[in-house]
Amino acid sequence: MSSSGAKRGRPLKFGRPTRPLSVSLPDDVIAWLETLDPDPAWAIVGLFEKARLRQTSPSPRVGAELVQLPGKRALILVSPDVFDGLAGVSVIRLSDGRGFLALQAGKGYADLELAVVDMIDAVDALPERRQALAEIRKQLRDWRQSGLHFEPRSILVVEREEVGEKARALSRLASA
């Protein structure tokens, strides 16, 4: 072990323990799995995680929730339709229907709260959306008052043609 206590060696492929499994599948099933991910193991795990989300997700989904990343960090996952049209706020959609927030350069948590308040006060906001945003406003305030620290970070979103290797679905990262 290193002085930090971390294990050496290759990181876990799926972020959790695995064991080898040899399985024979029809060629058409393998071809289909490879349309989901070039690595059939990742495709199978992705299908499992989507099924697990459908079984364990509350319905309807909450407007905003924290999803834990490795270490002490988390992302705010949201129901994208509630956040559409908020000034300075973009939603990076995930394959499971949720999304995470990306704020305009130079914007922070206070700007997010203000954008939510402004949309609640907008004359053309539907009552259902106002209600959902009011719940999100309360959640944001609760998080801020609980002592959570929010760091604005920049992300790069790449728009790409279907060239080369297919990108891995982000929803696997969010649910890990």
Q: Look at residue 68 in the predicted model and tell me its pLDDT.
A: 83
Domain count, the chain: 1
With beta carbons less than 8 A apart as the criterion, state whether 137 and 116 touch: yes
The answer to whether residue 125 scores a pLDDT higher than 90 is no
* Alpha-carbon dihedral 141, 147, 148, 149, rounded to 10 degrees: 110
| Measured distance CA(9)–CA(152) in Å, rounded | 32
> 30-69, pLDDT tens digit by residue?
999 998 889 888 889 888 887 777 666 544 456 888 888 8
Can you tell me the mean pLDDT for 1-22? 71
Please give the share of the chain, as a percent, with pLDDT higher than 90. 20
Q: At 123, which amino acid appears?
A: V
Q: Look at residue 163 in the predicted model and tell me its pLDDT.
A: 62
Beta bridge partners of 68: 74
Structural domain contains residue 73: yes
Can you tell me the mean pLDDT for 92-98? 83
Structural domain contains residue 140: yes
| Measured distance CA(58)–CA(114) in Å, rounded | 27
Structural domain contains residue 125: yes
Structural domain contains residue 106: yes
Minimum mean pLDDT among 75-89, 120-134, 155-169: which range?
155-169
Structural domain contains residue 71: yes
Range of the domain at 84: 62-156
Structural domain contains residue 53: no
Strands of 15-160, DSSP E: 64-68, 74-78, 89-93, 99-103
Question: What global pTM score does this model have?
Answer: 0.56
Structural domain contains residue 75: yes
pLDDT band (50, 70, 90) for residue 170: low
Q: Considering the chain, what is the average pLDDT of its residues?
A: 81
Q: Can you state the angle between helices 109-121 and 127-145, rounded to 10 degrees?
A: 150
Can you tell me the mean pLDDT for 122-134? 86
Distances (CA, A) of 164 to 35, 43, 59, 102, 172: 13, 18, 37, 27, 21
Structural domain contains residue 80: yes
